[in-house]
Amino acid sequence: MARRHKKVVWTKQGYSTLDEAVDYVAQDSLTAAQQLLESALDSAESLSMFGERGRIVPELQQPNVRELLIQRYRLIYEVFDAKVEILAFIPVRRISGRRKRTRKK
């Protein structure tokens, strides 16, 4: 059975957050910013064939809202029958309910 291509659509917020990330990285390195932009765009385009490949966004727990990790960023997207919408490109933040253990003396 052949896979059906889905259209990849960037939302305004998706583009805006990608621009912010690239601008931030460019402050230190234009080369790194270019690499980040290319990685994000290539990864997003690959979702036209493999939209379900990313993991479900843990905070949302909705099977159609997924993410790919690209360097230190999260490409968050929503999968529909005929398209994939890129919702945001945001920094990875460690969210943990665990506290550091301290040794008892």
pLDDT at res. 81: 93
pLDDT of 8 above 50: yes
For residue 78, what is the domain's CATH number? 3.30.2310.20
82 vs 93: CA distance, rounded Å:
31
**47 lies in some domain:** yes
Mean pLDDT score, 84-98: 78
105 vs 56: CA distance, rounded Å:
42
User: What pTM, to 2 d.p., does this model score?
Assistant: 0.83
**1 lies in some domain:** no
Structural domains of the chain, count: 1
Residue numbers of the domain that contains 60: 7-90
Strands (E), 19-82: 55-56, 65-70, 73-79
Q: In this predicted model, what pLDDT tens digit does every residue of 35-83 receive, in sequence order? A: 999 999 999 999 999 989 999 999 999 999 999 999 999 999 999 999 9
- Give 5 or 2, the one with higher predicted confidence: 5
CA 53 from chain centre, in angstroms, equals 12
**65 lies in some domain:** yes
